[in-house]
Homo-oligomer: A and B are copies of this chain.
Amino acid sequence: MTPFDKGDWKRMMNKSERTIISRRSRPAKDPLSKDLIVRTALEILKNQGLSGLSMRKIAKDLDTGPSSLYVYVKNVQELRAYVLDYGLEKVVLSDNQDGHWKDELFDVLESYQMTLYESPGIAELALTTLPIGPNSLAMIEYILQRLHAGGIHSTSAAWGVDQLFIYATSVAFEQASRKQDGTAMDSLYVSYQSVDAREYPIISSLKEELFSGEQERFRWGLEVILQGMLQMQK
């Protein structure tokens, strides 16, 4: 029995579904379950960001008190790990037979990056929370498989998949906070625009390039990592 067998997960998430039928007297209020809690939490995360996600708000949305959640979840950190994996459900792992390994590799990473970009809260979560759960595992396995097809094996592949994730996650977070807040990234940009050219000559000369590029920049970064890994194998 493994902790991440998909059946296990499903069973884990729906722990209390068996008992619904016997509760005929109060059909209006859904009974709690880990699955329901995580789905509610993800909804809040999408709408209000990571700082807006709290046990108390989840409880309120579920029309109960915060203490009720602790039957299904050990603490807020554990909840976040579940929410992250749940949020990665929509990352596309396309699997057509004649796809080229490199295209598929870049596509899945772009899909991952887009998923995070679309809900900045998930991006923030991905940055600080270790990837646990079936969706994360499926992605990692998929990427390792494509790297393998491209001739990158064993330690290089193991370390490389981490590096690719780090990069995609950080870029998504950066771009997401750029679109959302506005202020934080904008004020940084303004600062660089007026940097002292004698003290920081190269920064000053590259002040535009340092902030340029979106998807083109992301693809360039992936290419850098991949080319680097191939180069290191020689």
Binds B, one of A30-38, A90-98, A102-110, A153-161: A153-161
Interface of A is mostly: helix
Beta-carbon nearest neighbor of A134 in chain B: B199
A62 at the interface (CB under 8 A from B): no
Q: B232 to A231, Cβ gap below 8 A?
A: no
- Please tell me which one of the listed residues B140, B169, B171, B227 contacts residue A232 in the complex, with CB atoms under 8 A apart: B227
Binds B, one of A11-19, A52-60, A125-133: A125-133
Chain B contacts for A169, CB-based, 8 A? 170
Give the number of times this chain occurs in the complex, counting copies. 2
**Contact A130-B188, Cβ < 8 Å, known A144-B206, A155-B209, A202-B145:** yes
Q: B206 to A158, Cβ gap below 8 A?
A: yes
**Contact A148-B224, Cβ < 8 Å, known A196-B5, A212-B158:** no
A49 at the interface (CB under 8 A from B): no
A158 CA / B209 CA spacing, docked (Å): 6
Chain B contacts for A232, CB-based, 8 A? 220, 223-224, 227
Chain B contacts for A228, CB-based, 8 A? 223-229, 231
A159 CA / B229 CA spacing, docked (Å): 18
A209 CA / B227 CA spacing, docked (Å): 21
A79 at the interface (CB under 8 A from B): no
- Please tell me which one of the listed residues B5, B124, B221 contacts residue A163 in the complex, with CB atoms under 8 A apart: B221
Q: A231 to B227, Cβ gap below 8 A?
A: yes
- Please tell me which one of the listed residues B6, B160, B221 contacts residue A199 in the complex, with CB atoms under 8 A apart: B6
Interface residues of A in 206-234 (CB under 8 A from B): 206, 209-210, 212-213, 217, 220-221, 223-229, 231-232
A199 CA / B9 CA spacing, docked (Å): 14
A63 at the interface (CB under 8 A from B): no
Chain B contacts for A202, CB-based, 8 A? 141, 144-145, 148, 157
Beta-carbon nearest neighbor of A138 in chain B: B200
A85 → chain B, closest Cβ, in Å? 12
Chain B contacts for A154, CB-based, 8 A? 206, 209
A114 at the interface (CB under 8 A from B): no
A167 at the interface (CB under 8 A from B): yes
**Minimum-distance CB pairs A-B, first 4:** A228-B228, A224-B228, A158-B209, A144-B202
